[in-house]
Amino acid sequence: MSEHSDGKLSLVATPIGNLGDITRRAVETIAAADVVAAEDTRRAGRLLAALELKKRMVSYHSFNERSAVSRIISMVSDEGLNVAVVSDAGTPALSDPGFLLVREARAAGIEPEVIPGVSALTFAVTASGLPVDQFSFLGFPPRKKGARSRLLERVRDEARTAFFYESPHRIARFLAEIAEIVGDDADVAVIREATKLHEEILRGEAADIAEAAADKKWRGEIVVGVCGR
C-alpha cells in the first residue's frame, strides 16, 4: 500500500445468485469501506440493503473505466479512503472491470486486497463433470462467425477443456457450431443460472446438447464447457 496513505483498495467477490454465498470476510470488508465502487449501483444497492448497510457509492464500469480508475486511486492515495470494488456479481476482473484498476493501483504504490469468493466460472469448472486438470477460460465467443470458427478449431485441437460465457440469444447457435467444428461427440456441459432458483446443468455429447438447445427458450447467465475427444 502507498506509504503516504491509510486508505485501502479491496476487490470483493459477491454472490452470483444466492445471497448465502457471500463470505464473512466480504461482508466485513464492505462494512468497513468508506466507498463502494460498483459496476451497477442499483444492483450494489440491493446487495447493501440485504446486508443492512448504507454506503456512499460511485460507478465503475466498462464505459467509464479509465476515468473511474483515476478517481478510485485518488480516493485511496490522496483522501485515505477505504474503497471496496464490486462487479454486478461474482469476482471483479473476471469478464468484468478490474484488470486496469489493479495495474494502475500497483503503479501508484497501492497493493489491492483481493477478497475471493464465488464466480460463475469456478462454479462451472466444478459442476461440469469435464476434465479440468488443465482448462482455459475464453470469455464470450467473438461476434463474427469466422472468428468463432477459428476459436473453436483451436479448442478442437487443444488437449484441455475450454469454458465460455454466452448470452441466451446466441447460445443455440454457439452449441450448434461446437457440434459442427469441435465434433458431434465432443463432451459439453451447459451451466445456466448457477446458484439461482432456476439453476440448470446439461451434460452430454455436443450433437445431443445442440439438438436439445435448438427449440429451448434460454434465459439467464450461461457458461459452456467443451472438451474435444
Q: Is 2 among the domain residues?
A: no
pLDDT of residue 4: 46
Show which of 115, 139, 156 is a domain's final residue: 115
- Under-70 pLDDT residues of the chain: 1-5, 229
The cell for 220 is: 439467464
Q: Are residues 108 and 19 in the same domain?
A: yes
Determine the residue type at 42.
R
Q: Are residues 71 and 23 in the same domain?
A: yes
Q: Are residues 142 and 76 in the same domain?
A: no
Q: Is 1 among the domain residues?
A: no
Q: Are residues 75 and 161 in the same domain?
A: no
Outline where 51-198 has alpha helix (H): 65-77, 99-107, 120-127, 145-157, 171-181
CA distance 174 to 224: 9
pLDDT of residue 211: 95
Q: Are residues 221 and 124 in the same domain?
A: yes
pLDDT of residue 6: 80
Q: Are residues 146 and 101 in the same domain?
A: no
pLDDT of residue 14: 96
pLDDT of residue 169: 94
CA distance 219 to 167: 8
Show which of 96, 115, 134 is a domain's final residue: 115
Q: Are residues 99 and 193 in the same domain?
A: no
Mean pLDDT for all residues in the chain: 94
pLDDT of residue 95: 84
Domain span at 94: 8-115
Residue 35 near residue 60, CB atoms below 8 Å? no
pTM of the predicted protein model: 0.89
Residue 10 near residue 84, CB atoms below 8 Å? yes
Q: Are residues 74 and 96 in the same domain?
A: yes
Ordered DSSP codes for 164-199: EEE-TTTHHHHHHHHHHHT-TT-EEEEEESTTSTT-
Number of domains in the chain: 2
pLDDT of residue 159: 87
Determine the residue type at 5.
S
Q: Are residues 130 and 97 in the same domain?
A: no
Q: Is 171 among the domain residues?
A: yes
Report the alpha-carbon angle 59-49-46, nearest 5. Answer: 50
Total residues belonging to the chain? 229
CA distance 27 to 218: 33
CA distance 212 to 206: 10
pLDDT of residue 155: 96
Residue 158 near residue 150, CB atoms below 8 Å? no
Q: Is 37 among the domain residues?
A: yes
Exposed, middle or buried by CB within 10 Å (0-12, 13-18, 19+), for 169? exposed
Show which of 51, 82, 115 is a domain's final residue: 115
Q: Is 21 among the domain residues?
A: yes
CATH number, domain with residue 78: 3.40.1010.10
CA distance 7 to 218: 44
Q: Are residues 80 and 140 in the same domain?
A: no
Which pLDDT tens digit goes with each residue over 174-213? 999 999 999 999 999 999 999 999 999 999 999 999 999 9
pLDDT of residue 37: 97
pLDDT of residue 5: 57
